[in-house]
Homo-oligomer: A and B are copies of this chain.
């Protein structure tokens, strides 16, 4: 029996795929070919060319996808699953899309909930990582940060996704650096730990973020930080202001090493221990869970 299948994380700006056999990653590939790069809705053709020889070596591999590929702007819109929900709920909420080469191909739903602050909230792709984390590191409760353009703070209980809140940290950072006075005439900047730490420490000065960020300007005017330090300082301020929302001294951070290290560094200023887990590993484990819950049954 052929136990191979393909796990795909297809987001707005990136594509990642994993060839799986017996729950192990056999091969992996990634490309900066997010949904925004797909023209004329050529999703099937793009997927075929990205997966290349995986499809020719194995006949009609089942494909399970998650991420923004299931959004309005993606291949097929899959209605959100309303939380609380576990892996089984996601397995029964997929949309099937047709592939010219005969693979069965399903897209997993995203998740929606009321955030702990009473706002409607949505995610697509992160729910898979969260389910994977909970299976990989079982616990009665998980608090998890998934950093990124739209950073997610999630809560799980007994492996079940309870709720989450989005913080626009990554997008705020990029938008302010590229389009506001704060990023004006900056030289090319590298990660600067001292400036980052100052930003994290200063984020505690005030709960008012729109005041705090102006200090990226005034500290520069005063010569307290150099132009080359502005971006690290702002990053520290924004990530620090996220930490203040985490009412626990023990949580997880799931993502790429570059991001999880920054979050761990910031967390130490708040006396919070952040355990890091690899985003791809969690993604594959979560999608495997959904796969085994009978998507292709």
Set B122, B209, B224: member contacting A218, Cβ < 8 A: B122
- Say whether B214 contacts A238, CB under 8 Å: no
Instruction: Kindly state whether residue A289 has any CB partner on chain B within 8 Å.
Output: no
Instruction: Kindly state whether residue A115 has any CB partner on chain B within 8 Å.
Output: yes
Instruction: Kindly state whether residue A241 has any CB partner on chain B within 8 Å.
Output: yes
Most buried by B among A121, A167, A168, A245: A168
Q: In the complex, what's the smallest C-beta–C-beta distance from A245 to chain B, in angstroms?
A: 5
Contact with B along A226-260 (1 / 0, CB 8 A): 00000000000010011011000000000000000
- Say whether A218 contacts B120, CB under 8 Å: yes
Instruction: Kindly state whether residue A208 has any CB partner on chain B within 8 Å.
Output: yes
Instruction: Kindly state whether residue A162 has any CB partner on chain B within 8 Å.
Output: no
Given the complex of chains A and B, what is the CA–CA distance between A219 and B122 in angstroms?
A: 10
- Say whether A209 contacts B209, CB under 8 Å: yes
- Say whether A214 contacts B166, CB under 8 Å: yes
Contact with B along A211-225 (1 / 0, CB 8 A): 111110011011010
- Say whether A208 contacts B119, CB under 8 Å: no
- Say whether A180 contacts B168, CB under 8 Å: yes
Most buried by B among A171, A207, A209, A224: A209
B residues in contact with A215, CB < 8 Å? 119-120
Q: How large is the interface on A (under 10, 10 to 19, 20 to 34, 35 or more residues)?
A: 35 or more
Instruction: Give the residues from 165 to 214 in chain A that come closer than 8 angstroms, CB to CB, to chain B.
Output: 165-169, 171-172, 175-176, 178-181, 202, 205-214
Set B115, B167, B206, B222: member contacting A210, Cβ < 8 A: B167
Can you give 15 A-B contacts (C-beta < 8 A)?
Answer: A117-B205, A119-B205, A119-B211, A119-B212, A120-B218, A167-B208, A167-B214, A168-B180, A168-B213, A175-B176, A175-B180, A178-B179, A207-B207, A208-B209, A209-B210
Given the complex of chains A and B, what is the CA–CA distance between A274 and B125 in angstroms?
A: 45
B residues in contact with A238, CB < 8 Å? 210
Given the complex of chains A and B, what is the CA–CA distance between A240 and B224 in angstroms?
A: 31
B residues in contact with A294, CB < 8 Å? none
Instruction: Kindly state whether residue A93 has any CB partner on chain B within 8 Å.
Output: no
B residues in contact with A212, CB < 8 Å? 117, 119
Set B150, B202, B213: member contacting A214, Cβ < 8 A: B150
Instruction: Kindly state whether residue A52 has any CB partner on chain B within 8 Å.
Output: no
Given the complex of chains A and B, what is the CA–CA distance between A150 and B219 in angstroms?
A: 16
- Say whether A119 contacts B210, CB under 8 Å: no
Closest to A213 in B: B168
Instruction: Kindly state whether residue A118 has any CB partner on chain B within 8 Å.
Output: yes
- Say whether B122 contacts A210, CB under 8 Å: no
